[in-house]
Amino acid sequence: MPPAIRADCLSKSYGPKRVLHDVSFEVSPGEVFALLGRNGAGKTTTIEILEGYRTSDSGTAWVLGKDTSRLDRRTKAQMGVMLEELGLYPGLTVAQTLHLFSSYYPDPLPADGLMERLELQGVADSKTRTLSTGERQRLSLALALIGRPSAVFLDEPTAGADPVTRRTCLEVVAELAHNGAAVLLTTHHLDEAEQAADTAAILSKGMLVESGPMKDLVRGGITIETDRPLDLSTVGARFILTAPNRYTSDDDVTPEEIASITALAAKQGVTVRSIDRERSLESLFFRVTSER
């Protein structure tokens, strides 16, 4: 199947500052894709280009087969967007807000059903200005879903949310993908990304520095730091030099191979300062973003 969301060599500058450098990735129908990075890495700019809110200087962005710089109303109606900062009508109640937004779509989900699924029944008659952070997040998610979208953009969907809201959001993300929607999310909660996403890409200073299926990104390589250069050419696992006296392998390294490495270091008169087995998205994230 063709990708539902595609970034093709996106570049963007604000004045003299280049914030995106030839960023490319794809999100297929039924896939959850996590776009990760530190503050200022270019995540929001990327997602806003894909949503059609901003244009790139070069490259193209496609959603559901349409160039996002020229989106038509039909394609926009198939897109669900949850912004990090959502502007709501403060004088409307939760129920009124959902019914208003449902009128914008040809075949919306039932507002009452969404309120039940996202645990908003208790605040259905509350004005949106009185909502807690978690309630606002759940309402924002409901508004992104009410049009039955085929491509969903969730920008920091659990930022500042309570544990119940975070759990509900992750469950809904899984349901969306199960029903065939392409989901692109950004988050600073790396544990959530590791749990929810099928694929991830990490941005650092506007450049894509790591991407791939989640199972490959966290499959268990190791990083070895020494006090001086170490010759690892005779070791079965493939190592690359990622910093002075720091060697990283993305291969699955067995305990026996680790023992042989420490023995090899002793033979060469090299002190092994640390061995870090990389089994989490968090450890990968810190390594690839700190190297730039």
Together in a domain, 107 and 68:
yes
3-class SS of residue 226? strand
For residues 227 and 262, give the distance between their C-alpha atoms in angstroms, rounded to a whole number. 13
Would the pLDDT of 278 be above 80?
Answer: no
Strand (E) or helix (H) holding 2: none
Together in a domain, 34 and 62:
yes
Mean local confidence (pLDDT), 12-40: 96
pLDDT in the model for residue 279: 62
Together in a domain, 165 and 91:
yes
Together in a domain, 123 and 77:
yes
Mean local confidence (pLDDT), 31-60: 96
196 touches 34 (CB < 8 A): yes
Would the pLDDT of 58 be above 80?
Answer: yes
Q: Which of 187, 213, 239 is the last residue of a domain?
A: 213
From residue 189, give the alpha-carbon distance in Å to each of 60, 161, 192: 29, 11, 5
Q: Which residue has the higher pLDDT, 17 or 280?
A: 17
pLDDT in the model for residue 256: 81
Together in a domain, 276 and 160:
no
For residues 243 and 196, give the distance between their C-alpha atoms in angstroms, rounded to a whole number. 31
Together in a domain, 281 and 143:
no
Together in a domain, 228 and 169:
no
Domain holding 262, by residue range, is: 218-290
Q: How would residue 55 be classed by pLDDT, with cut points 50, 70 and 90?
A: very high
Under DSSP, the state recorded for 48 is H
For residues 40 and 83, give the distance between their C-alpha atoms in angstroms, rounded to a whole number. 17
Q: Which of 186, 213, 240 is the last residue of a domain?
A: 213
pLDDT in tens, 256-265: 888 889 999 9
Together in a domain, 159 and 35:
yes
Here the CATH number for the domain that contains residue 123 is 3.40.50.300
Residues facing 80 on adjacent strands: 152
Would the pLDDT of 292 be above 70?
Answer: no
Q: Which of 213, 228, 253 is the last residue of a domain?
A: 213
pLDDT in tens, 143-193: 999 999 999 999 888 888 888 888 899 999 999 999 999 999 999 999 899
66 touches 208 (CB < 8 A): no
Together in a domain, 238 and 154:
no
For residues 195 and 207, give the distance between their C-alpha atoms in angstroms, rounded to a whole number. 24
Q: Which residue has the higher pLDDT, 5 or 275?
A: 5
Here the CATH number for the domain that contains residue 276 is 3.30.70
pLDDT in the model for residue 31: 98
pLDDT in tens, 244-253: 999 988 777 7
Q: How would residue 267 be classed by pLDDT, with cut points 50, 70 and 90?
A: very high
pLDDT in the model for residue 163: 87
Together in a domain, 185 and 256:
no
Q: How many domains does the chain have?
A: 2
Together in a domain, 169 and 269:
no
Together in a domain, 181 and 127:
yes
From residue 253, give the alpha-carbon distance in Å to each of 189, 259, 277: 27, 10, 9
Mean local confidence (pLDDT), 85-107: 89
